[in-house]
Amino acid sequence: MEKIIHHTLSMYKNNLAIDQDQEAILKYGIYLAYTYILGFCASLILAQILGIFSSVLVLLIAISTFRNFSGGAHCASMVNCIVFSAVTANFLALVSKLLAVDPIVMGLITLGIFIFALWAVYTYAPADTPAKPIASVTKRKRLRTRSYWVLIFGFAMNLSWYLYFGTIHHLIFTSSIGILWQSISLTKFGYRLYNAFDAVFSRLFLKGGNYL
């Protein structure tokens, strides 16, 4: 994978005049792009096996859209991120199906998620990483504002469906569960959770510094 990333970076460097700092940022962006793509594929393959493809797809779209503006915790390596994404996405989709039984309960959960997500964005977004810090105050403000709009759109969609049909569609509800997970990843607890997974996964599958 490192060779693929290096090859992609070389193609950009051959066509763009970039300095060393820009190269580092670009390399990190390419790394994240490949991680997201492979994580998506792994999550959907597992979802197809479990018979919850639609739910996982909707959940991943919700998480990715929100994360694009709000930031959040990452695993330390690409392999960790892919495995963690596949496991959590399918687990959350299964949980959403279990909770999608009563319209009132679904409505209360959706409202609670919206309030929690607003707090998480106000307190932490955009949550950056040491590898890609956001130094610009203007950019931070813009990303936080767009995070709010994602939340408002999602909640409005849930509310409109509830008022019109008297219930919440289970796929729309699943998207709210995705918003909840992404909101948690903004918090200090979310960063500790990702770090804990890194530590456990590395102990299980690392030997001599190389993945088996």
Residue 127: phi and psi, rounded to 5, are -85, 110
Where are the chain's structural domains?
2-211
Q: Tell me the pTM.
A: 0.81
Summarised one tens digit per residue, pLDDT across range 110-135 is: 999 999 999 999 999 887 765 566 66
Measured CA to CA, the distance from residue 186 to residue 68 in angstroms comes to 12
Higher-scoring residue by pLDDT: 203, 52: 52
Measured CA to CA, the distance from residue 201 to residue 160 in angstroms comes to 42
Amino acid at 26: L
Summarised one tens digit per residue, pLDDT across range 88-102 is: 999 999 999 888 888
Q: Per-residue DSSP letters for 17-34?
A: ---HHHHHHHHHHHHHHH
Summarised one tens digit per residue, pLDDT across range 17-56 is: 555 555 565 656 666 777 778 888 999 999 999 999 999 9
Summarised one tens digit per residue, pLDDT across range 156-170 is: 988 888 887 777 788
- Tokens representing 53 are 């493809």
